A and B are shown apart, each in its own frame.
Chain A
Amino acid sequence: MPKSLGTSKTLHDVQTMMHEHDLDRIAAHVSGLEDASALIESCPICREEFELQRCIKAELGSLDKPVLSQIEQQRIARAVRISVATPSQARFNRIAWGAVAASFVVLFGFTALLAGHPDGDRPRTSLESSATDSYSPESEEGFSTGPLGVPSDGGAGQGINDGSSDVATLDRAPSEQFVEFDSVDAFVSEVAERKSDTVLYPASGTEGEGRCDSQISGLILVRLAGRIDGVDLIGYLVETSTGREIEVLFADSCERYEFTKGE
């Protein structure tokens, strides 16, 4: 029996309290990184500290880990890809595209000038042509005009203009217009609501087929382009053998977007 000091504390208690409480070690013990069991068992202060630390660790450990949504993942990946394009690459791209554009301008200018005199006359400049051309009814009948203002008048000129119109068609962005939505849920609802639309999109091989339609198996009833948080998606209402389903794809990669209700 330890000798009493006349208070509620025994000599043993006092000796225990006087020892150096290695609180960092107790913290490490709580983390499971060190063994400080002897300290904790022998000293009420160390035990109290242990309980306190254990409690806080449990509180922190009970927090759920946040998870990135697919849209957030796409957004980050896109932003990173843009940022890591090295300056030299970007410069090369700018130079390359600039050269291509300049070549097209020169080529078009040259061919348009040639088109202006199919009989081999001296090429006319646009100033000359606008100043000297008399009124021609053809210009009002939808005949196109060359880039330098030289009217095209059939023959070679017509062919050239057809070509330029083809280029314009190729350069045009895909026809989908992306409508902004607050959430995937709202987007999916919109796709579902359009089931009564009369326009049906066959799943393959027709004019107007979307770039990602080949990823869809079944009869496409509705196709809707939407943008959520800067990410472009295409939603489909599809008739399959098991009924109607909604599919959502990333517009840029045509990969399937796995969505959950409430997203």
Chain B
Amino acid sequence: MGALTEKSDTELMSLLADGDSGCLDELMKRHQDLVFSVAYRMMSDRESALDATQDVFINVFRKAKYFRGDSALSTWIYRVTMNVCYDSLRKRKRHPTESLPEHADPPDATGEDPYSSVELRPSIQEALDSIPNEFKAAVILSDIEGLSIAEMEMVLGVPSGTVKSRVFRGRRLLAEILGNLKDPT
């Protein structure tokens, strides 16, 4: 296993494409936080984000042969993550279920919430949840993940003009919901 840690992402993906599933653990170690972070903001609840993270790595394994190495693996994984999240959100829309909002959980008796450091600020997360998915994805990738326009083009599969427009409109919608716009026009 020591050798795997020294291999590049591209080498690991090449091995994975040849059916060496042992590489998956190493790839997961490297990229699972990235995947979970995006999935958590897109899905807005921890359980769904965990399911999405799991699905992403299953897809990474199954689609490893399609990774050509033209972009960084992280960019490709962002794209897989977005597709998984879009699918899950579509399914959720078709079969809506009542889930408890995380901030409505009963207070921890010990007073030490393990996830206190990832406090979901309801206002901004709720605002994110109420804008269309394509704008939500754009602002998450741009303003939370810090991707460049070129990377976002690849992740979202749209031209740079559309990326910029989605970021602008996404922020505008958030501003309206959060009340930053004093006189919306």
What residues of chain A have their CB less than 8 Å away from a CB belonging to chain B?
23-28, 30-31, 33, 52-53, 55-57, 59-61, 63-69, 72-73, 75-77, 79-81, 83-86, 183, 185, 260-263
25 residue pairs from A and B, CB less than 8 Å apart: A24-B161, A27-B167, A27-B168, A28-B164, A30-B171, A31-B149, A33-B148, A52-B180, A53-B168, A55-B175, A56-B143, A56-B175, A56-B178, A57-B143, A59-B124, A60-B139, A60-B140, A61-B143, A63-B41, A66-B46, A67-B33, A80-B54, A80-B57, A81-B25, A261-B112
Q: Is the CB of B121 within 8 A of A80?
A: no
Could you tell me the distance in whole angstroms from the C-beta of B38 to the nearest C-beta in chain A? 10
Which residues in window 19-39 of B have CB below 8 A to A? 19, 21, 24-25, 28, 32-33, 36-37
List, in ascending order, chain B residues with CB within 8 A of A52's CB: 171-172, 175, 180-181
Q: Is the CB of A60 within 8 A of B110?
A: no
Tell me if B's interface is mostly helix, strand, loop or mixed: helix
Give the tally of cross-chain contacts (CB within 8 A): 124
Q: Is the CB of B181 within 8 A of A60?
A: no
Contact A262/B113 with A59-B178, A63-B124 known, Cβ cut-off 8 Å: yes
Nearest A residue to B115, CB-CB:
A66
Contact A83/B180 with A24-B165, A68-B33 known, Cβ cut-off 8 Å: no
Q: Given the complex of chains A and B, what is the CA–CA distance between A260 and B32 in angstroms?
A: 21
Q: Is the CB of A65 within 8 A of B33?
A: yes
Could you tell me the distance in whole angstroms from the C-beta of A53 to the nearest C-beta in chain B? 5
Q: Please, what's the 1-or-0 string for B135-164, where 1 marks a CB less than 8 Å from any CB in chain A?
A: 000011011100011000000000001001
Q: Given the complex of chains A and B, what is the CA–CA distance between A76 and B36 in angstroms?
A: 11
List, in ascending order, chain B residues with CB within 8 A of A83's CB: 54, 58
Tell me if A's interface is mostly helix, strand, loop or mixed: helix
Q: Is the CB of B115 within 8 A of A24?
A: no
Nearest B residue to A184, CB-CB:
B114
Top-10 shortest CB links A-B: A262-B112, A27-B168, A60-B143, A24-B164, A66-B118, A56-B171, A66-B40, A84-B61, A80-B57, A57-B143
Q: Is the CB of B142 within 8 A of A31?
A: yes
Could you tell me the distance in whole angstroms from the C-beta of B74 to the nearest C-beta in chain A? 14
Q: Given the complex of chains A and B, what is the CA–CA distance between A68 and B15 in angstroms?
A: 26
List, in ascending order, chain B residues with CB within 8 A of A24's CB: 161, 164-165, 167-168
Contact A64/B61 with A28-B167, A56-B174 known, Cβ cut-off 8 Å: no
Contact A66/B37 with A60-B124, A80-B24 known, Cβ cut-off 8 Å: yes
Could you tell me the distance in whole angstroms from the C-beta of A184 to the nearest C-beta in chain B? 9
* 10 additional contacts (CB under 8 A) given A56-B178, A83-B58: A26-B168, A33-B148, A52-B181, A65-B37, A73-B32, A76-B28, A80-B28, A80-B54, A262-B110, A262-B112
Q: Is the CB of B25 within 8 A of A77?
A: yes
List, in ascending order, chain B residues with CB within 8 A of A59's CB: 124, 174, 178
Could you tell me the distance in whole angstroms from the C-beta of A259 to the nearest C-beta in chain B? 10
List, in ascending order, chain B residues with CB within 8 A of A77's CB: 25, 28
